[in-house]
Amino acid sequence: MQPRNMSMSGAVDLSAVKAAAEAKQKAEQARAQRAAAGPEGGQQAGAAASLVIDVDEAGFEQEVLQRSTEVPVVIDFWAEWCQPCKQLSPIIERLAQEYAGRFVLARIDVDANQMLFQQFGVQGIPAVFAVIAGQALPLFQGAAPEPQVRQVLDQLIAAAEQRFGIVGAPVDPEADGVEPQPQAEPEPPVNPTLAAAHAALDAGDLSGAVRAYENVLTEEPGNLEAQLGLAQAQLLGRVQDVDADRVRKDAAERPDDVTAQLAVADLDLLGGHVEDAFGRLVGTVQRTVGEERDAARLRLLELFEVVGADDPRVIAARGALARVLF
């Protein structure tokens, strides 16, 4: 899996639902392997799993993508010549030790890793991203005070646990061998209806997936995994048979045609142009009234579900929507 496929570069990863289940399974397998290895094996695994690591292009897949199935990985893009980096990096490194295994910090020198710098779409440094279950999202850019950094990390850790079941194992950062401890709480049982919905989505049975996710939500209205899956299945169902060129031409020629604008917003989101999709719908809400305004607003809320409530782009778009509504 390459960074260009991740959500932080703009693309929406429609395998997020499946990734959540796979991430839980991989995390459990890794904990079982560490337990089976015994004390000596655990020390070796812990020593390799430092809380702050320097990552290059060659080690990115193993050190960041694979590790993100067990623990949130925070990425700090920095350079020796960058003065704001010298203010921010020590803060994040200190917090990595303080949080003691709830996240891992990966430091990437942009001068030595230009490909990663470009693929992540970094606009300036310092820049901080996170990767959870192989999916990445931007956190913030520029130097930030410690309270703000701490708040962002707390939100990241909560999102990793709630949406993907990923909880970093607590460690003693001062121990010779940093040995992650097994989780005290067992993994919750798999909901068979939710599993069937995932399977239908993977198989391309979009109508079956929609029905299955709706059944889950009837029993568990607050199930975030089902909400995300339903939004993705509905999006894919709307775009699977459309002529993209015709849809874009219609929208360009008829800017006041709400149906055309909704269709292009779907295509934009699926193609990774998240801000364009959100901006188009916010503008449509602003220009319309009555049922047309409601249609644009509801579609925007549906697309928020696809991207995820914790994504900074969703947070920004919610603010923009509130301003045009009120």
Name the catalytic one among 27, 49, 53, 85.
85
Secondary structure element (H or E) that encloses residue 132, with its range: strand 127-132
Tell me the C-alpha distance between 87 and 85, whole Å.
5
Tell me the C-alpha distance between 139 and 128, whole Å.
6
* Residue among 59, 69, 3 nearest 33 (CA): 69
Instruction: State yes or no: is 85 an active-site residue.
Output: yes
Name the catalytic one among 17, 49, 74, 82.
82
Dihedral sign from CA coordinates of 182, 183, 185, 188: negative
Rg (CA), the chain: 21
Helix, strand, coil abundance in the chain, percent, nearest 5: 60, 10, 30
Tell me the C-alpha distance between 101 and 170, whole Å.
5
Catalytic residue set: 82, 85
